Amino acid sequence: MVMEKAWSFGLVLLWFSTLSCYLVNAADDKNGGFGASFIFGDSLVDAGNNNYLPTLSRANIPPNGIDFKASGGNPTGRYTNGRTIGDIVGEELGVPNYAVPYLAPNSTGKAILYGVNYASGGGGIMNATGRIFVNRLGLDIQIDFFNNTRKQFDKLLGSSKAKDYISKRSIFSVTIGANDFLNNYLLPVLSIGARISETPDGFIDDMINHLSNQLTRLYKLDARKFVIGNVGPIGCIPYQKTINQLNENECVDLANKLAMQYNGRLKELLTELNGKLKGAIFVHANVYDLVMELITNYAKYGIIWFFTCRFYNSKRSMLWKWRAICRDNPMRTDIKYVQRP
């Protein structure tokens, strides 16, 4: 279950730099400012939904949250030391509260006017993705939940105002797809059958068709401004490197190739939807290149190191924050520390 945790530490910073221009423009709407941020996706943007599910994929344990000011450094269910890209985008847009997790008890009443977060660690485009965690919200279900929220907006604002608010003043971000490879297609044992019976082309076709239907469903529910993230270099994450027994500076070729193949198809899909769905804007967020750049030129972005508890022993004085964690878990390898410049 380590992969869900390992993946997301600190990946958000770069993502943001490309998105911010577009999003700030979108926010600068003549119709009375920014409305809501609706967040769909996996552990990269889960803000606590999995805390409310009986699941093996949870992040409500330290060191998650250690740099998250709003919780005083306590874990919240975010799979990261700090904020997710969803939180940061919301802040930059001037939304006073982070989008509430859909499953949290306070995701009711006026709180939803700032946005709602449906993301779930372990979730994917395909329903079967993340089965290994027992429970998680796949994108189909996340959109079912948005359908519920959509009805609540009609009640809160009246149907014509609600439609305006959703279509003109709200952002829909979707950050998903990595688990469809990591915790579905590439999963040892569980998916061997699928991999024998389905070629990478066939599997990626299924993913793209499914996603196309999912985005069209959101459009039917009045979503218009979309930001869709592609899949990062999943062959370079510790989980993949470990199960494939690679060295520190190598990445798993098959996993990265699948990600790149999917990403090519995603770009085509978004171009197609931009033409087909009237009034909608789909922005493609190139997570793959950003994260690859981060991995390659990490020092340029103020990242001091990625480290494990074993490594910690030699850098003790610099990493006082991790002392208790590493003392209790001397062999932990899923911690990466990102320092802003």
Ligand X SMILES: *[C@@H]1O[C@H](CO)[C@@H](O)[C@H](O)[C@H]1NC(C)=O
Point out which residues bind ligand X (CB under 6 A). 97, 100, 104, 106, 111, 127, 140-141, 147, 217, 220-221
Cα dihedral 300, 304, 305, 309, rounded to 10, equals -170
- How far apart CA 78 and CA 49 sit, in angstroms, is 9
Cβ closer to ligand X: 136 or 336? 136
* Sign of the four-CA dihedral 123, 172, 206, 9: negative
Pairing relation of β-strands 225-229 and 100-101?
unpaired
Q: Which is nearer to ligand X, 131 or 241 (CB)?
A: 131
CB of 140 to ligand X, least distance (A): 4
Cβ neighbours of 40 (radius 10 Å): 30
Of 111 and 246, the one with the shorter C-beta distance to ligand X is 111
Task: Find the shortest distance in angstroms from Cβ 122 to ligand X.
Answer: 15
Min dist. Cβ of residue 8 to ligand X (A)? 20
String of DSSP letters for 95-153: -SSPPEETTSTT-SGGGGGG-EE---TT--SSTTTTGGGS----HHHHHHHHHHHHHHH
CB-wise, 219 or 307, nearer to ligand X?
219
Residue 102 vs 239, nearer CB to ligand X: 102
Tokens representing 56 are: 């093996």
Report the residue number, 87 or 334, with the smaller CB distance to ligand X: 87
Tell me the C-alpha distance between 166 and 226, whole Å.
12
* Secondary structure (3-state) at 281: strand
Give the C-alpha separation, 202 to 146, whole Å.
Answer: 29
Query: Residue 234 has which token pair?
Result: 């999943």
- As measured in angstroms, the least distance from the Cβ of 61 to ligand X is 17
Taking the alpha carbons at both ends of the chain, their separation in whole angstroms is 31
Of 17 and 106, nearer to ligand X (C-beta) is: 106
C-alpha distances out from residue 99 to 33, 84, 306, Å? 17, 11, 29
Contact assessment for residue 234 and residue 259, using Cβ atoms and an 8 Å cutoff = yes
Q: How far is the CB of 27 from ligand X (least distance, A)?
A: 19
Shortest Cβ 321–ligand X spacing (Å): 22
Nearer to ligand X, 217 or 321 (CB): 217
**Closest residue by Cα to residue 53 from 112, 16, 113, 103:** 103
CA angle centred on 228, ends 223 and 230, rounded to 5°? 160
- For residues 97 and 296, which CB has a smaller minimum distance to ligand X in the complex? 97
**Residue 102 Cβ vs ligand X, minimum distance, rounded to whole Å:** 12
Q: Rounded to an integer, what distance in angstroms lies between the CA atom of residue 79 and that of residue 91?
A: 18
Q: How far is the CB of 166 from ligand X (least distance, A)?
A: 13
Closest approach of ligand X to the CB of residue 50, in Å: 15
